[in-house]
Amino acid sequence: MYNVSVIERSTETTTIQVTGGRVKQIHKINNADGSTLGWQMIKSGKMVKAVRNGNTIELRVHNDGNTESRILKIDEKPWIQFMGWGLQWFAGRPKVKSREFWIFKLTDLSINTLFAEKKGEEEIKIGDQKYDAAKIRVSVPGWVSKFWGVHIWFRKEDGFYLRFKGANGPPGTPITTTEWIQAP
């Protein structure tokens, strides 16, 4: 189970904390487009910090007293580390049909491109409540998308994250479903 909470909000940014199991993540998100500006992850004594600076991401990994630093070159695509929050902007814009973005793969901290595409609208039920939702499919770009993809549903009226379903890892990973227990 993951817990998501807003820990700081201004007109320009929102900082959220995501915790689950032994992992704690802090995401600083640009309110204008949902992109990640900074990210921190603490997992089993390992701390990862990443900050976007133009078309680079400065990555620092602290593990067992050692520190590794890398500068990763990217392009102008947004970096969206927490899709449940970062894709709200995309879900709420009817004229925008698809979006490519950068994301860190948590297993090896490589930076990869993912592709989000709107797949229509449907009514979903969470508990006793029904919601009109925008359905988004996220996959890798190109023909490889046939082998891996996930679906994320956002409330149509305001883009609020409702549900995630798919392999939360590479092909062959078991299907995971997460959803809000109670949407505001």
Going residue by residue through the chain (184 aa), what tens digit of pLDDT does each one get? Answer: 677 888 999 999 999 998 888 889 999 999 999 999 999 999 888 999 999 999 999 999 999 889 999 999 999 999 999 998 899 888 888 888 999 999 998 888 999 999 999 999 999 998 888 999 999 999 988 887 777 889 999 998 888 889 888 877 666 778 877 777 654 4
What's the rounded Cα separation, in Å, for the pair 69 and 17?
23
Looking at the DSSP assignment, which residues form a beta bridge with residue 104? Answer: 111
Question: Which pTM was predicted?
Answer: 0.88
CA–CA distances in Å: residue 123 to residues 51, 84, 87, 101, 163: 37, 18, 19, 27, 12
Q: Which of 7, 3, 53 is nearest to 27 (CA)?
A: 7
Measuring CA to CA, which residue among 71, 47, 69 is closest to residue 60?
69
CA distance 182 to 184: 7
Looking at residue 146, its pLDDT comes to: 79
pLDDT on residue 138: 95
Q: What is the pLDDT of residue 126?
A: 87
Which pLDDT score, from 0 to 100, does residue 147 have? 79
Alpha-carbon span 59 to 53, nearest angstrom = 11
